[in-house]
Chain A
Amino acid sequence: MIDYNAIMNERVRSLKPSGIRKFFDLMADMNDGTAISLGIGEPDFVTPWHIREAGIYSLEQGYTKYTPNAGMKRLREEIAKYLVRRFDLRYDPNGEIFVTVGGSEAIDLCVRALCGPGDEAIIPVPSFVCYGPIVTMSGATPVYIETKAENEFRLTADELRAAITPRTKLVVLPFPNNPTGGIMERADLEAIAEVLRGTQIMILSDEIYSELSYGVHHTSPANIPELYERTLVVNGFSKAYAMTGWRMGYVCGPKELLGQMVKIHQYGIMSAPTTSQYAAIEALKNGDEDIEKMRESYDFRRRLMLSRLRDAGLECFEPKGAFYMFPCIKSTGLSSDEFCTRFLQEYKVAVIPGTAFGDGGEGFVRMCYAASVRDIEEAMDRLAEFVRKVKNERESN
């Protein structure tokens, strides 16, 4: 008999499964159609038709073979043009950009190429669930910084300075942020630049939500001249073009690093899906208007949910990016986990406890507003009732 537990790679075994799963299992049990999910972090749009059609057409033409490891040249060229057009970022399509299987693979590659045993990677939390486990898998140690609601969940220079040690290899900047909706503006990034000056520390900037910024234009660390050489920009098509299932992402940065990273990609992945690459070219060439349309629609719903959250008596800072609200639920006296479990069981609305996104998330919950207006309103009505009920319970105790 093989003892599977004993043969398992210790790093893999040490990973905790995602804390979000439980709520969807609970929700699946309430299969009566009245449950509302504000849990999944994914656009509620279908990929625009002209983009889907480009994928279909490529299949009709028989474009079903591998592409170059770094992705098709035409796609890399379109990415380069797009980055200049929309974010004033300049990268050479030959060597400074390569195409990955979603932003997730790009994150994995950056970490694996840079981090190893003995290294530390700084990760602001709350943030997307993948950074810590990927760092752990590389053998390095994740060092978490809890961003604060009073700072609008930005990473401050002081917090960063305090976390840096001689072993620090990498700082993850996950902005616009999932789950808080926090962003970093130019001044914030310039302060970060000052802290990193003279060090060998690299930045992994996960900008997958860069197109979903409201009222402010997204600034990348790579827009700060001093940070350009130490930044790896990760972006992709999932959020901007509602293309989550196509698994299309890319990474940009110094040639020397990408040249090494592409080796991991070459051996582990070979090349990103060909059909998706053709669709991605169409998205970049003719999709700017789709981005605007979807962003405007999210923005309407962002304002609606924020207004209803505050009506319901929950404190919430105005998120400037992504499509999440991250209200504070401390006034209810419940923990994040209790709040989400009871809200789901008693009012049939699924939201995610902030703790699923790291320790700094206790006292908060994530609600995704990429849902229909009617669902948001119904969920917020139920929320108001739930909050009232919980507060009454507290007072009568």
Chain B
Amino acid sequence: MTSILKLLEEDARYTAKELAEMTGKSEPEVREIVEKLEKDHVINGYTALIDWDRTDVETVTAFIEVKITPQRDDGFDRIAERIYQYDEVESLYLMSGAFDFAVIVEGKTLKEVSQFVSLKLAPIEGVISTATHFIMKRYKDNHIMFKSETEQEERVLFV
């Protein structure tokens, strides 16, 4: 199971046949394992890692620190739910330390993102303050480096 997860984390496009070959399991076995992992929400989805900066699509991403007052009985979860329902929110983490939530927000323009913060995020009940940091450049995401491969120029040939 762990080896299948590791392989899918490396490349989600591996087919059941490929996974079976690489782990020494049968294809039906692999299918069953992956289905169970999906059902148990161990695997929560599959996505491509896109460097939008290399396209003509304009996007802006911001990292927002949010401080909140936890609510009686629900703690942080209730407010988290209210935040992550927005399509603009790419990721949401509960943090230890100086602030409570780290919210990654995507938008088309700076203005769109700041409006989201001031009109939607900040007014949520329980939110005490926000600090918005715009992401200038993405170097690495999910273990993948966003750059072109560099190859050493000359290499030995007979080994």
Contact = CB atoms under 8 A, between A and B. Distances in A.
Interface of A: 18, 20-21, 24, 39-42, 128-129, 178, 244-245, 296, 300-301, 303-304, 307-308, 373, 377
B158 A307 contact: no
A391 B14 CA distance: 31
A21 B18 contact: no
A308 B18 CA distance: 10
B18 A24 contact: no
Contact of B22 (A20, A21, A128, A303): A303
Contact of B157 (A21, A245, A301, A304): A21
Contact of B18 (A129, A244, A245, A304): A304
A361 B23 CA distance: 29
A303 B23 contact: yes
B22 A301 contact: yes
B21 A21 contact: no
Nearest to A300: B22
Given A296-B3, A300-B3, A373-B11, A41 B159 contact: yes
Given A296-B3, A300-B7, A303-B23, A373 B18 contact: yes
Interface string B1-43: 0010011000100100010011110000000000000000000
Interface of B: 3, 6-7, 11, 14, 18, 21-24, 152, 155, 157-159
Nearest to B152: A245
A11 to B, nearest CB: 19
A204 B7 CA distance: 38
B22 A40 contact: no
Contacts of B152: 245
24 contacts: A18-B157, A18-B158, A21-B158, A39-B157, A40-B155, A40-B157, A42-B159, A244-B159, A245-B152, A296-B3, A296-B6, A300-B3, A301-B22, A303-B21, A303-B23, A304-B18, A304-B21, A304-B22, A307-B21, A308-B21, A373-B14, A373-B18, A373-B22, A377-B18
A40 B159 contact: yes
A42 B22 contact: no
Contacts of A178: 159
Nearest to B159: A41
Contacts of A373: 11, 14, 18, 22
A308 B20 CA distance: 12
Contacts of B158: 18, 20-21, 129
A303 B7 CA distance: 13
A44 to B, nearest CB: 11
B18 A42 contact: no
A10 to B, nearest CB: 23
Contacts of B7: 300
Q: In this complex, which of A245, A300, A308 has the most chain B Cβ atoms within 10 angstroms of its Cβ?
A: A300
Contacts of A18: 157-158
Contacts of B157: 18, 20-21, 24, 39-40
Given A24-B157, A300-B3, A303-B22, 10 more contacts: A18-B157, A18-B158, A21-B158, A42-B155, A129-B158, A300-B7, A301-B22, A373-B11, A373-B14, A373-B22
